[in-house]
Structure 1
């Protein structure tokens, strides 16, 4: 290719992003800087966190500068190199952008991966990437559930939530999932092995709290939180003593300008619970360790990680918005190219 297409952040979204917040432009393919290399991006991860990076607000990562490509974890092939550390043809994963080609420097976030280990390179963005490992380390290292404990997962049909529930079952938990709609609830029990699925659609906080209580009369020992808002309010009314809440995401609030949050944090105090603000970036040095376990579980048929692969950089906006409409049916991935 002689053109580098780039999906840029043109203005900061207010509420739900609209197409005019972005621009798809064509620029020359970059050349590697001294000691650096250029990656041909083949797959990009689409995640709720990207919506937060679009705001000019304090966060764990700096906001995406206006005029820059939307930041994304990608996997691709080294297309040109000025360093012996990364040879042309090497498959690599790193934090780049929604664009055909990205410039990288040695010593950054980019790492080589062995695509012979997986059926598709996209697996390094799902089961063996940040999504699958968010579930793995969030349970095994942060929540540390014990056999027989009750695990409550919100956003349970999503990429992270569905993996959390399955790993919880492997660890001997009773697993309850909250999702939106009958089809997603069916997938929780039939495809992912959850013990109970609860549909939050059209229910008040009180109604949802009552359904959780019926499924977990002694309360939840571990809550893996991906949604926030009214769903989290209902969950907080059903905590067991000394419950552990892993706060992984708040997708219901990302497009809300008010950022209202939950109203009954008193329950955390009343039940002597703990809330742990959890970011997978802390576990980057241990990705190989966790990825090996995830791969082994998949090979044994104990873990199912679905992917929702959308095709074409020109479809980046529509693909990204699937996260907020609930249309995605697995880890959302944008396929940009096949490789060199």
Structure 2
């Protein structure tokens, strides 16, 4: 008996403004874990049997939307699936054409994507940096941290980063050009470690970790310091988040601590793309990504973020370009 084969034609419904995508790369980001909680955050929580969605890079196969045509490379919110049909305005509004293809398309999940934009907006707008200031970046080899440290160096700041392995520390000092770096897992006293690296105190702390790290930073901040709260990855898997005991430092040191969402800074998007792409092409910014192949490896890649298994920006390649 010979099995029959059937060709299925993928196309958008007639008369709709839907966009049909073939997904190429998926961005693996810590905030996805927060969407698995029952409490809604800035995005609705994932529901049982719902396809997980996140940032991705795709090629348009068919479109009824006036802004997109077959063959366009795009980035936006897509499902963890081989093909995505975007039918609602939220998803099509979040979709944008990829203007430059002289860099790897996977970079639009990181360097020129949401993490890069987060680093650019968070550092330049939330931190209000000045030349010569002292900057500390936690999770400094990750998708956001690696770019924050380099933006700070380009501004003429003194920059120290921390990471969870000696391999990553070496990367911070050699490839990313930070002034110093340390493995926080080898430090018995984080407060003392930060005092060692910042004897004059910290002007800017770019927060990616939370918990004990934030508690250690606050006493080491200088007067009128700024803390940009981008993420708190150490807290996402805890049933009860850790308390922070040194909050009175916000008063005594006149520290401004501010959380932010990248979507609030869309006015910077074109500036971010043009500036960051130029820096990369000129060799002023380095970038490291950790690519795993196959949609089936996406869950393990997400879990690996929370143990620091990845080196650089974690990406899943769904299909070859």
Q: 1:260 aligns with which of 235, 242, 247?
A: 242
Q: Which residue of 1 aligns with 2:115?
A: 131
Question: Gaps (5+ residues) in structure 1?
Answer: 4-27
Q: Which residue of 2 aligns with 1:166?
A: 150
* Deviation (angstroms), 1:286: 2.7
State how many pairs are aligned: 311
Q: Which residue of 1 aligns with 2:270?
A: 288
Alpha-carbon contact 1:224-1:248 (below 8 Å) kept: yes
Q: Which contiguous aligned blocks of 4+ residues in structure 1 show a shift greater than 6 angstroms? A: none
- Which residues of 2 match residues 68-83 of structure 1 at below 5 A? 68-83=50-65
Q: Give the Cα separation in 1 of the matches to 2:268 and 2:258.
A: 19
Q: Which residue of 2 aligns with 1:60?
A: 42
* Deviation (angstroms), 1:30: 6.5
Q: 2:166 aligns with which of 165, 169, 182?
A: 182
Question: Gaps (5+ residues) in structure 2?
Answer: 1-5
* Deviation (angstroms), 1:311: 0.5
Q: Deviation per CA, 1:179-230, whole angstroms, max 9, x where unpaired?
A: 11222111111111111112210544xx111111121112100000000011
Q: TM-score, normalised to structure 1's length?
A: 0.87
* Deviation (angstroms), 1:82: 2.4
The RMSD of aligned alpha carbons is: 1.8
Q: Deviation per CA, 1:105-149, whole angstroms, max 9, x where unpaired?
A: 46521111134232x111111111111121111111221211111
Alignment of 1:42 with 2:27, yes or no, is: no
Alignment of 1:117 with 2:97, yes or no, is: no
Q: 1:88 aligns with which of 47, 55, 70?
A: 70
Alpha-carbon contact 1:93-1:113 (below 8 Å) kept: yes
Q: Give the Cα separation in 1 of the matches to 2:266 and 2:83.
A: 23
Alpha-carbon contact 1:180-1:199 (below 8 Å) kept: yes
Q: Give the Cα separation in 2 of the matches to 1:56 and 1:321.
A: 19
Q: TM-score, normalised to structure 2's length?
A: 0.92
Q: Deviation per CA, 1:213-258, whole angstroms, max 9, x where unpaired?
A: 1211121000000000111111112010010000000000011111
Q: Deviation per CA, 1:20-60, whole angstroms, max 9, x where unpaired?
A: xxxxxxxx986424121211111010000100011111311
Q: Give the Cα separation in 2 of the matches to 1:29 and 1:322.
A: 36
Q: Give the Cα separation in 1 of the matches to 2:100 and 2:200.
A: 45
Q: Which residue of 1 aligns with 2:3?
A: none
Q: Which residue of 1 aligns with 2:287?
A: 305
CA gap of 1:30–1:190, structure 2 versus 1, over 3 A, is same
Q: Which residue of 2 aligns with 1:19?
A: none
What secondary structure sits across from 1:334 in the alignment?
strand
CA gap of 1:152–1:288, structure 2 versus 1, over 3 A, is same
Q: Give the Cα separation in 2 of the matches to 1:225 and 1:54.
A: 22
Alpha-carbon contact 2:187-2:193 (below 8 Å) kept: no
- Which residues of 2 match residues 197-276 of structure 1 at below 5 A? 197-204=181-188, 207-276=189-258
* Deviation (angstroms), 1:88: 1.2
Q: Give the Cα separation in 2 of the matches to 1:220 and 1:157.
A: 19
Alpha-carbon contact 1:227-1:251 (below 8 Å) kept: yes
What secondary structure sits across from 2:306 in the alignment?
helix
